[in-house]
């Protein structure tokens, strides 16, 4: 079912105004009771519209949907490219490459992602960083952190890691050791298991279709998709 925004706008306003006028007919517009009817009807129409839209939205963003892929996507190459037709950037998926040197089964990936989210909440990441653009503004946005060129350019050499995910893991476990500028991330005592889960979560988050946010991000292409 496709929903157009303009139809929703026109329908909610039309129903609010018409029903209010019908139910308030005969009352003078300066009477409180006239506005009582208008307030009740308008609020009800908007609440109903919000509930219907929420049902549709929650269905469209459930795990495994097109917009929020299943956690097993962490096994794939993930990119972020400009889609000329949509005129926005969007995630793309390539061949299976695994993560931390292994391919995670769907159940393992789900468990890992759940752990990652718990770690992210327990360490209050959102009170310095933004995730999907929401949070505090003291540290960089993490929406596409997995795809950030800085990991390979700077953190892999500095940490001496063999891969990007290893560099991310080492950084997360000892961020105070690898300052990138004057604001240093404090050491939040992540265990190795927790750091792995967070890296997986960041990779998964980069696979979410965010309608082109962040825009203008450097494109990351993937090798031939084998879907």
Taking CB under 8 A as the criterion, which residues in 128-147 touch another protein?
128, 130-141, 143-145
Nearest distance, CB of residue 59 and another protein, angstroms: 10
Contact 216, 185 (CB under 8 A): no
Which member of 19, 23, 49, 103 binds another protein (CB under 8 A)?
49
Residue 26 has phi, psi (to 5 degrees) of 90, -15
Minimum Å gap between C-beta 141 and another protein is 5
Shortest CB 224 distance to another protein, Å: 26
Among 197, 199, 203, 206, binds another protein (CB under 8 A): 197
Q: Which residue's CB is nearer to another protein, number 22 or number 136?
A: 136
Distances (CA, A) of 168 to 3, 37, 129, 163, 206: 40, 58, 16, 9, 15
> 202: closest CA among 96, 100, 55?
100
42 lines the binding site for another protein (CB under 8 A): yes
CA-nearest of 69, 91, 88 to 80 is 91
Contact segment (CB under 8 A) with another protein among 100-108, 112-120, 160-168 equals: 112-120
User: Cα(45)–Cα(41) distance, rounded to whole angstroms?
Assistant: 6
Among 222, 169, 175, which residue's Cα sits nearest to residue 194? Answer: 169
By the rule CB under 8 A, 30 interacts with another protein? yes
Q: Which is nearer to another protein, 68 or 103 (CB)?
A: 68
Least CB distance to another protein at residue 163 (A): 18
Find the shortest distance in angstroms from Cβ 205 to another protein: 6
Residue partners of 87: CB distance under 8 A and separation at least 6: 212
């Amino acid at each position: 079912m496709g929903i157009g925004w303009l139809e929703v706008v026109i329908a909610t306003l039309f129903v609010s105004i018409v029903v209010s006028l019908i139910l308030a007919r005969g009352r003078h517009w300066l009477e409180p009771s006239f506005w009582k009817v208008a307030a009740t009807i308008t609020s009800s129409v908007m609440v109903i519209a919000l509930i219907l839209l929420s049902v549709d939205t929650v269905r469209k963003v459930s795990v495994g949907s097109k917009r929020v892929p299943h956690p097993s996507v962490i096994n794939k190459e993930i990119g972020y490219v400009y889609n000329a037709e949509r005129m926005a950037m969007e995630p793309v998926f390539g061949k299976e490459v695994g993560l931390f040197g292994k391919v995670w089964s769907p159940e393992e990936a789900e468990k890992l992602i759940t752990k990652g989210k718990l770690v992210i909440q327990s360490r209050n990441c959102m009170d310095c960083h933004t995730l999907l653009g929401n949070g505090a503004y003291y540290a960089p946005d993490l929406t596409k952190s997995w795809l950030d060129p800085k990991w390979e350019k700077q953190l892999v050499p500095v940490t001496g890691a063999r891969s990007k995910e290893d560099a991310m893991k080492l950084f997360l476990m000892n961020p105070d050791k690898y300052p990138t500028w004057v604001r240093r991330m404090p050491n939040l005592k992540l265990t190795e298991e927790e750091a792995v889960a967070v890296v997986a979560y960041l990779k998964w988050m980069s696979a979410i279709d965010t309608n082109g946010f962040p825009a203008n991000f450097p494109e990351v292409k993937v090798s031939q998709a084998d879907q």
